[in-house]
Amino acid sequence: AQKITQTQPGMFVQEKEAVTLDCTYDTSDQSYGLFWYKQPSSGEMIFLIYQGSYDEQNATEGRYSLNFQKARKSANLVISASQLGDSAMYFCAMREGSDSGGSNYKLTFGKGTLLTVNP
Amino acid sequence: GAVVSQHPSRVICKSGTSVKIECRSLDFQATTMFWYRQFPKQSLMLMATSNEGSKATYEQGVEKDKFLINHASLTLSTLTVTSAHPEDSSFYICSARDTTWWNSNQPQHFGDGTRLSIL
């Protein structure tokens, strides 16, 4: 079974509108972390936002917010006021287990969602 | 902020050649680095965890003798693709985390990746 599921291969949004990218996860660990990364066509991976399993409030970073619904095991990324530069591949990733050492920090990535922002 | 440098950014070489890719953490120490492989339009797949001063930990299905990893210092890990063949052509990307901060909020920082093309 996939640990990270991103059901939207592609999404389109009009400039200045908000968009939600879906991510569901599967883990039996109580302690875990969820990350979103952006990958432009040039290939680099850009960290956007993090949500810890024990965090009670949804994470926010500028125009990015994470809609964390623990019971449903979902961690959707919301991008507000979309910009043309937001067009990229977006990956949801999970770190399982507590952060007790480097080897426990490996990430499992979803298949990604290609976001296209239209002018 | 934390920066990871990866070199070279692009390699084109003949079949049978060995190719070395370097991953450096520029402003922090990383006892652990990670090597990923990404095929076009697909997700990142973890190949191995590189541990400073010890052997790398390889994911299931990754050939240890094919993909040699050396982590000789706290700021440098190298991946050598030995006797490369066309099927090894892919995008290879490394990541590292600042392990001086024992805080699971710290994300992995990625290099810009290496596009390897074997003719």
Q: Find the CB nearest B32 among A42, A47, A102.
A: A102
Does the beta-carbon distance from A99 to B104 stay under 8 Å? yes
Minimum distance, in Å, between the CA of residue A54 and any CA atom of chain B? 11
Cβ-contact A106, A95 below 8 angstroms: yes
In this model, does residue B30 exceed pLDDT 80? Answer: yes
Pull the structure tokens for residue B44. 């990142």
pLDDT (0 to 100) of residue A102: 52
Contacts of B95 in chain A (CB under 8 A): 45, 107
Distance CA A53, CA A64 (A): 18
Instruction: Dump pLDDT digits (tens) for B6-21.
Output: 999 999 999 999 999 9
Does the beta-carbon distance from B103 to A50 stay under 8 Å? no
Q: Find the CB nearest A103 among B49, B103, B105.
A: B49
Distance CA A82, CA A77 (A): 12
Does the beta-carbon distance from B34 to A47 stay under 8 Å? no
Overall average pLDDT of the A20-29 stretch:
95
Higher pLDDT, B32 or A64: A64
Distances (CA, A) of B5 to A67, B22, B105, B107: 32, 8, 21, 16
Minimum distance, in Å, between the CA of residue A68 and any CA atom of chain B? 16
Mean pLDDT, chain B, integer:
90
Q: How far apart are the first and last CA of chain B?
A: 38
pLDDT (0 to 100) of residue A18: 98
What are the phi and psi torsion angles at A86 (to 5°)?
-80, -10
Overall average pLDDT of the A32-39 stretch:
94
Does the beta-carbon distance from B103 to A106 stay under 8 Å? no
Does the beta-carbon distance from A107 to B103 stay under 8 Å? no
At residue B100's C-alpha, the angle toward residues A64 and B52, to 5°, is 110
Contacts of A64 in chain B (CB under 8 A): none
Q: Find the CB nearest B113 among A44, A105, A107.
A: A44
pLDDT (0 to 100) of residue A16: 97
Contacts of B115 in chain A (CB under 8 A): 43
Higher pLDDT, A21 or A98: A21
Mean pLDDT, chain A, integer:
92
pLDDT (0 to 100) of residue B41: 87
Instruction: Dump pLDDT digits (tens) for A59-104.
Output: 999 999 999 999 999 999 999 999 999 999 999 999 886 655 555 6
Does the beta-carbon distance from B110 to A44 stay under 8 Å? yes
Distance CA A76, CA B102 (A): 26
In this model, does residue A57 exceed pLDDT 60? Answer: yes
pLDDT (0 to 100) of residue A8: 97
pLDDT (0 to 100) of residue A45: 94
Contacts of A102 in chain B (CB under 8 A): 31-32, 49, 51, 97, 99
Instruction: Dump pLDDT digits (tens) for B69-86.
Output: 999 898 999 999 999 999
